[in-house]
C-alpha cells in the first residue's frame, strides 16, 4: 500500500475534524460520511476508525462498530478504549465470553498505561457481566 502524501493526510485530518463536529452535533450519518472520507485519504488513521465506530454505535449499527474497533486494534494493539468499547458492544449482542475477553484486554492495557480509574471501572464491568452471565449456569 502506498503511503498517503502530506496533502492526503491534511485532507484526512480536515474530514476527521469535521466528522467529530458532526458527531458532537448528533449527526451520525454526516459524521460517518466524513470519517469514511478521512479513511479514504489515510487508511492508517486509527482515530478516524475509532470515531466512526463510535458513530456506528450511536446509530445502533453494532456489527459495523465492532468492525471499526477491530481495525483500530489492528493498527494500535494497546488501544484500551477500543477494547473496552468493543467488549461492551459484544455484551450488548449477547457475546458474553468475547465481551469479557475484550474487557480483560482493556483492563490490562489500562493498567499498563497507569490509568487506575479506567482499570478499576473495567474490572467492575467484568465482575458485573460475570455475575449476571454465569451466576445461574
Boundary residue ending a domain (61, 91, 106): 61
Question: Is 83 part of a structural domain of the chain?
Answer: yes
Is residue 102 exposed (0-12), middle (13-18) or buried (19+ Cβ within 10 Å)?
buried
Residues 46 and 90 in one domain: no
Q: With b meaning 16 or more CB within 10 Å and e meaning fewer, what string describes 66-87?
A: bebbebbbeebeebbbbbbbbb
Question: Is 102 part of a structural domain of the chain?
Answer: yes
User: Is 103:133 a contact under the CB 8 Å cutoff?
Assistant: no
Residue-level pLDDT at 117: 98
Tell whether the model's pLDDT for residue 60 goes beyond 80: yes
User: Is 81:50 a contact under the CB 8 Å cutoff?
Assistant: yes
Could you read off the pLDDT of 100-126 as tens digits, one per residue? 999 999 999 999 999 999 999 999 999
Domain count, the chain: 2
Can you give the CATH number for the domain in which 15 is found? 1.25.40
Its domain, for residue 112, covers: 78-137
Confidence of residue 135 (pLDDT cuts 50, 70, 90): low
CA dist., res. 91 & res. 72, Å (int): 19
Could you read off the pLDDT of 66-109 as tens digits, one per residue? 999 999 999 999 999 999 999 999 999 999 999 999 999 999 99
Between 7 and 1, name the one with better pLDDT: 7
CA dist., res. 60 & res. 42, Å (int): 26
Confidence of residue 1 (pLDDT cuts 50, 70, 90): very low
Tell whether the model's pLDDT for residue 63 goes beyond 50: yes
Amino acid at each position: 500500500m502506498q503511503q498517503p502524501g502530506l496533502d492526503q493526510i491534511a485532507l484526512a485530518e480536515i474530514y476527521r475534524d469535521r466528522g467529530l463536529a458532526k458527531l458532537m452535533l448528533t449527526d451520525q450519518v454526516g459524521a460517518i460520511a466524513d470519517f469514511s472520507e478521512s479513511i479514504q485519504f489515510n487508511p492508517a488513521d486509527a482515530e478516524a476508525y475509532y470515531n466512526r465506530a463510535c458513530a456506528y454505535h450511536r446509530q445502533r449499527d453494532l456489527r459495523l462498530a465492532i468492525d471499526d474497533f477491530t481495525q483500530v486494534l489492528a493498527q494500535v494493539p494497546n488501544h484500551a478504549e477500543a477494547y473496552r468499547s468493543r467488549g461492551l458492544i459484544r455484551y450488548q449482542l449477547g457475546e458474553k465470553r468475547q465481551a469479557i475477553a475484550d474487557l480483560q484486554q482493556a483492563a490490562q492495557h489500562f493498567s499498563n498505561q497507569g490509568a487506575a480509574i479506567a482499570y478499576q471501572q473495567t474490572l467492575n464491568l467484568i465482575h458485573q457481566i460475570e455475575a449476571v452471565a454465569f451466576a445461574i449456569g
